[in-house]
Amino acid sequence: MNLQNDSSYIYLHGFASSPDSAKAKYFRSHFSSLGIDLKTPDLNQNDFSSLTLTRQLQQIETEFFQTESSESVEKVKNVGEVTIIGSSFGGLTAAWLAQRQLSVNQIVLLAPAFQFLSHWLPLLGQQQLEKWQSENYLPVYHYGEQRYLPLNYQFVADMAQYPEEKLMRSVPTLILHGKHDTIIPIQASRSFAADRPWVQLIELEDDHSLGNVLGEIREAILKFCQFKN
């Protein structure tokens, strides 16, 4: 199909991932086959250490939603409605963008990182958490870089600004979440969808990676976005 010029599509990769992840490449390829240029910005910005949710939001809003003088960057602001697909922490970012930007008219969240800190921090343990807070940096394995990189404690402190109970703009939302997810348990998505009638939750037989059900996800997205193969 040929994409109408009044719609734009953005894919946001997950925490410690990149636009070269398997999912990003998969969806970029399949959207391309539909005549759609799926934007896949790099949320690492060559500086994973200073990553925060605020920085991710500001990056996407600056790159796609605010008027810029440069003609080298294609601006979503000038082409109408926006669909955002977000994976894990990118899914949480997508949810906040939908809350903040009225031109976002639908979002697809893949194992979104709702209640992220309450699930992730206990995995670190109290001793490591206290060490991180006192020393400011924690080595985190970055799957995109395939090595450990330091992450500033501001990542944790910044999250306090984003209570998920404020995510109440009724934007059509599709969540796809694995039943066997041990990183972000599916209950996080169930709880989010429970009191938001505009949210559709599809539960899949997979873990957090969703690598075994990409075909099912693709079909669900095509249906949700009302595309035709």
Ordered structural domains, the chain, with CATH: 7-224 (3.40.50.1820)
Mean pLDDT score, 39-65: 97
Note whether 176 and 204 are within 8 A (CB): yes
Mean pLDDT score, 162-172: 97
Note whether 199 and 107 are within 8 A (CB): no
Identify the pLDDT of residue 66.
65
Q: Could you give the percent of the chain with pLDDT greater than 70? A: 91
Mean pLDDT score, 15-37: 96
Mean pLDDT score, 121-135: 94
Distance, CA of 159 to CA of 105 (rounded, Å): 25
Identify the pLDDT of residue 67.
45
Give Cα separations from 162 to 58, 64, 92, 158 (angstroms): 14, 21, 10, 8
Residue 101 reports pLDDT greater than 90: yes
Mean pLDDT score, 159-172: 97
Residue 72 reports pLDDT greater than 90: no
Residue 75 reports pLDDT greater than 90: no
Identify the pLDDT of residue 80.
76
Tokens coding 44: 């690492």
Residue 165 reports pLDDT greater than 90: yes
Tokens coding 33: 């086959």
Identify the pLDDT of residue 227.
79
Residue 100 reports pLDDT greater than 60: yes
**How are beta strands 137-142 and 147-152 bridged, if at all?**
antiparallel
Identify the pLDDT of residue 7.
86
CA dihedral 172, 95, 212, 209 (to 10 degrees): -170
Q: Residue 199 burial by CB count (10 A; 0-12/13-18/19+): exposed, middle or buried?
A: buried
Mean pLDDT score, 33-59: 97
